[in-house]
Chain A
Amino acid sequence: MLLENSSMRKYYFILLILLFWFSLGGVPKPDFHGEAFKAEREDMVTRQIEGRGVRDRAVLGAMRAIPRHLLVPRHLERSAYADRPLPIGHGQTISQPYIVARMTELLELKPGDVVLEVGTGSGYQAAVLAMIVRKVVSIEIIAALSRSAREDLADLGFGNITIHHKDGYFGHESDGPYDAIIVTAAAKHIPPPLLAQLKPGGRMVIPVGATGWTQNLILVEKDRDGVVTTRNMLPVRFVPLTREKR
C-alpha cells in the first residue's frame, strides 16, 4: 500500500510537472529554420503589420516565424506574403496578413489559453494561434480543406492543433468552454452556440454582416458575470460561414 502510494505520488508528481509545463506553453512547437522567404516574411511583419499598429509581441513573433508560403497553394507561393488575401480553392481564401494579426491581437491571448477557431481554411490562422496558446481547436466545413490543413500543419510540426470537419456554427462543445474564439468567415449574426461556449472573461472576434459585401469585425467580450458586450472594430470582407457545396 505504501509502495503503491509512493508510486502513485511519483506519477502524480510527473503529471503535475507535465501539466505545469503544458500550462506554460510547453507543448512541442515547431521550430522553423528554413530561410526561404525569410526576408519577405520580415518585410510583411514590419510594413504590413507593425506599420499598421499591431503591437502584440507574441503575434508578431508568430507571424515572423510561420512559413505562410507553405500554407498557400503552390502556384501562389510567391504571393504568400503580399498584402492581400489569396484564394485557396473551394471558394475560400487565406486572409490578408494584417487581418490575421489584428484579429489575433484583439483576442489578447495568454500562453495557457484554449482557443476555438471557426473556419480552418489553409490552417495559417490556426498556426499563428498555436504558436501563442496551449491548444487550438479548429473547425472546417469543407472536408478537403480540413484534410489538407491537417496534413500541412502536421508536416510543420504543430502538435497542439485539432481540426474537426463540421459546421462551425455550432462550435465544438466537448472541448469548450474556450478562452477565446475566432471566426474567420462572415456570419449574419453571432452564433448563439459560440457565445455559449465562450468562457466568462473570454473574447471572440467575428465578422458580422451581409455576405458578398463587407462586414464589421466585431469584438465580443463576456464579462465574469456572463454579460456580453460587442464592439465594432473595423470593416472587413470574408467569405460566408457555412458553405459546403462548390
Chain B
Amino acid sequence: MKGEGAPRLADYLLVGVASAAVLSFEIILLRVFSFSQWHHFASLAVALALLGFGVAGTLLTLLGQKAVQWGDRLFISGLLLGAGGMVAASQLPRWILVRPLFALWDVGELLKLLLLDFIAFVPFLGLAVSIGQVFVRWPKATSRLYGVNLLGSGLGCLLPVILLATFYLEVALLLVPVFLLMGIAVFGLAGARAPRLGLVGLGGCLLLVLVLVAGVAPLRLSDFKQLAYLMDLPDARIVSRLAGIEADVTVVRSDSIRIGRGLSVQWPHPLPPVDAVVLEADTVIPLWRPGEAARHADYTRSTLMALPFLLRPSGPLAVLGASDWIFPPGDLDRESVLVENNGTLLKLYKERAMYPLAQLVQTDPRRYVEKTGNTFSLILLAGASMGGEAVDVDYLLTVEGLEACYSALGDDGVMVIPLHLSNPPRNAIRLLELLRTVLLRLGHENPLASMAMIRSMEDALILVFRETLTPPELEEIRDFCQQGSYDTSILPGLSVGETNRFHILEQPVYHAAAMALLSGEGSLPVEADWYSRDVPTDDRPHFWKTMRWSKLPDLLNALGRNGLIWLDWSILVSVVKFIVAAVLAGLLILLPLGRLPCRQATFGPMAIVTYFAALGMGFLSLEMVAFQRSMLFAGHPVIAAALVFFVFLAGAGWGSFSTPRSSGTAAVARVFLPIMGCVFWGWAILEWVAPPMLKISGAGCLGLVAVALGPMAYTLGRAFPWGLRQLRDSRPHIAWAWGINGFASVVAAPLAVLMAVHLGQGVVWGMGIGCYLVAGWIALKKT
C-alpha cells in the first residue's frame, strides 16, 4: 500500500480478510455474550461492531491527511489492534465476573460491564480504522474496495457456521484472530511491505496456535446463568459437552437436579434423578439417565402432561419442540414424531435412546406442520412451555402457525399447548385470545365448546379439540384433575365453583378471562387487561411480547416495584440501546465538524449526513426485517442469519463493482430506481410467494430467500460507493461519511427491532424503502 497509486491485489485481499474477520468475530461474540452473560446483552455485539465502524470514521476524519500519510503502518497497526483486541475480549471475562442486571444499581458492576464492552469494542475499532483508511487513501477505487469489503463480510458470515459446528465457543473465538494474524503476516512479509509488523503478526499467530494446542479454559459464566447455578449444586459434574451451530450443549449430572414441571402436589416421593441438558448455558431440558425412564412411569403419570396421553392413548403423535417436561416413558412408543430444530439435542436424544421408537426430525416445527401431509391425533406444542423473550420471533404461536397445526389434526385430534403461568397472568390470556381468533377463522362458532384448560400451581395445559368435547372426555378430565389436585379453568359446562379449588388465586382469573373472551360472558378481570392481547401474526410473530406501554402506570400502581419484574426487559433494553446509540452517534457525528474543510460542492455537510445516515438506516432496517422473515423459511435462526447476512453483504459487494461512475440525474436514476423495484420484488416474494411454498424442501426455501434478497442486495450495494464517489475531492469527508453510515447502522439495529415488534415487519420494510427514497431525493437534488 505505498504511494497514491491504485491498490494492489494484496491490499484487496487483506481488506477482504479483515472484513471477514470482523463479521466472524461479531457473530461468534454474539454467541459468547449470549452464553456467558445475560442474553439481553447478546445483541450488544452487533452494536459494538457498528459503533466501532462509526468511531473509526470519526477518527479518520480527525486524522485528516495523516491517515493517508501513515499508509501501510496505520493499516497494519489497525489490524494488529483488532487482533489484539479480539484476544483481550476473549480472555478478559475470565478474570472479571459480570452480573449485568446488578449494573442497574451497582456502580462497580456498571464499571466492570463498561470495561468489558469497551474491550470488546476495541477489535472492531481497530479493524474499522484499517478498512476505512483504504477508502480515504484510494478514493477512486471506492467501488472495488467496498465490493471486496462486503464480499469479505459475506464470507465472514459463513465462517462462524463452520467454526461453531466444529469447536467450542472459546476456541472458535480465538481462531478468528489466528486467521487475521496469518493474513497480516503474509501481507507484511511476502512483499516486504511492512516486515516488522508482519513479524509481529506471525509471532502473535504462532503464540495463539500454541495456546490453542495447550488447551483453552471454558468461558466463565455470569452466576445468573442456569449452567452456573447447576454447577454450584453438590456433586455436580459435566457429563458431556457438544459444540453446535445452534447452541453450545452441556449435560450436567447431580443428584440435586430435580425438574418437576406440572407436578401434582399429591405426588409423595422425591423426584426421579435426571440429567440436565443446558442449551447455551441457560435453557434447561431434562434427560433421563440411562435406564431410569422405565422405573419412573408412576412419576410421569403424576404430571399434567399425562392427561393428553390418557385422552388419546393411541394414534399418530407429533411433539413440536423440545421442552422441560418429561414425557411418560413409553408414551412416545407409538407412531410418533419429535420435531426440533436443534440438531445437537436430537443427537443426544438418539445417543440416550430417549425416545427409541419416535422419529426424530430436525427442522423448524412451523415448517414441519406446513410441509407434512400427515394428520395426527395428538399434537403437542411442547416448545411453548420454554417461554421466550418479547423480541423473540416465534412463527408457531401465530394465527397462521396455529391454523397450520390445527389443519394437521385428524378428525379426533387434540392440540395441546403447555404454558408456564405467571402471576399476574400474561401469556396465557394472550394465548386464549389467539386461539379464539384461530377457531373463529376456522369456522368454530363456539370456541369454548372445544377447549379445555387445566393448571397446576405454576403450569397450565390448554387443549384444543378438533370436535366438541364428548361427555366421557369431560368426565376423564374432571377425574384426572380431582385425583391430581389440578384446577380446571376452562371446560364446557364448568361452573365457577368447580374452578380455583386446589391452587387458589385471589380470583379465578383464567376462568373469568376465558368466559369473557371466548363466550362474551362477564367482564375481563382487571389483571387480565394489564398485558397485551394483540393477536400475533406472521407479520408480528412476537407472541412473548406482552407489555403494553399504555398500561404501565396501572401495572406499577397496582404492583409497585414488583411490577418491574413483569416488564418485557428485552424491549426496554432495546429502547435503552437505541437512546444511547442515538446520543453517541449524534455527538460523534458532530465532533469532527470543526476539523472538516469547508465544502461548497454538490454534497454539503447536511446532505452528507442525511444521505449516508439514510443509507445506513435503510440497509440495516431491510437486513433486520429480512432476517426475521427468513426464519420462517430457513428453519433455524442461525441458518437464517448466515444466509441473509451473506446474501446481503455478498450481493451488495457484487453490486458495488457496477456502481455508475457518472454523477448526473441519469446516474441517480440508475442507482435508485432499481433499488425501489428490487425492494418491492423482495417483499413480494417473502410476503406473497414464499408462504405457500413452505411445503417445498429446505434447500428450495433457502433458494427462494436468496432469489428474493439477492437482486435487492445487489442494487443496495451501489448507493453507498456512488455517494462516496461524489466526495472524492475531499478525503476527510469520505471518512466522515463512512462514520455516519456506521453510526446510522448502530441506531437502526435496535430501532428496527422495536418497530418490528410494535408495528410489524411490513412497516420496517416500508421504513427501509423510505430511507432509500430520502437518499435518492438528496442525490437528485444535489446533482
A residues in contact (CB < 8 Å) with B: 91, 141, 167, 169-170, 188-193, 195-196, 208-209, 211-214, 216, 218, 220, 227-232, 234-235, 240, 242-246
Contact = CB atoms under 8 A, between A and B. Distances in A.
Contact of B485 (A192, A227, A231, A234): A227
Interface in B248-286: 256, 258-261, 263, 265-271
Contact of B503 (A189, A196, A229, A242): A229
Contact of B562 (A195, A214, A218): A214
A169 B270 contact: yes
B502 interface: yes
Given A244-B233, A245-B234, A218 B457 contact: yes
B502 A229 contact: yes
Contacts, number: 92
B192 interface: no
A188 B457 contact: no
- In this complex, the interface size class of chain B, counting residues with CB under 8 Å from chain A, is 35 or more
Residue of A141, A240, A243 with most partner-chain B CB within 10 A: A243
Contacts of B261: 189
Contact of A229 (B223, B269, B485, B559): B485
B229 A211 contact: yes
Nearest to A229: B502
Residue of B231, B458, B501 with most partner-chain A CB within 10 A: B458
B565 interface: yes
A167 B234 contact: yes
A164 B271 CA distance: 22
Contacts of A242: 233-234, 256
B255 to A, nearest CB: 9
Interface in B24-68: none
A213 B223 CA distance: 12
A106 to B, nearest CB: 14
Nearest to B267: A192
Contact of B504 (A212, A214, A230, A246): A230
Given A229-B485, A231-B504, A242-B233, A188 B562 contact: no
Contact of A169 (B232, B258, B503): B258
Contacts of B223: 212
Interface in B504-529: 504-506
Interface string B549-563: 000000000010010
B574 to A, nearest CB: 19
A163 B772 CA distance: 71
Interface string B227-251: 0010111101000000000000000
Interface string B478-500: 00000001000000000000000
B454 to A, nearest CB: 15
Interface in B456-471: 457-458
Interface of B: 223-224, 226, 229, 231-234, 236, 256, 258-261, 263, 265-271, 423, 457-458, 485, 501-506, 559, 562, 565
B565 A235 contact: yes
Contacts of B234: 141, 167, 242, 244-245
A167 B271 CA distance: 14
B229 A192 contact: no
A190 B562 contact: no
A229 to B, nearest CB: 5
Given A218-B457, A242-B256, A228 B502 contact: yes
B259 to A, nearest CB: 7
B224 A229 contact: no
Contact of A190 (B265, B502, B504): B265
B268 A244 contact: no
Closest 6 CB pairs of A and B: A189-B260, A228-B265, A244-B234, A235-B562, A231-B504, A212-B224
A229 B505 CA distance: 11
A191 to B, nearest CB: 8
Contacts of A213: 565
Contact of B457 (A190, A214, A245): A190
A105 to B, nearest CB: 18
Contacts of A228: 265-266, 485, 502
Residue of A196, A232, A245, A246 with most partner-chain B CB within 10 A: A232
A244 B485 contact: no
Contacts of B268: 192, 195-196
Residue of A188, A213, A220 with most partner-chain B CB within 10 A: A188
Contact of A244 (B232, B457, B503, B504): B232
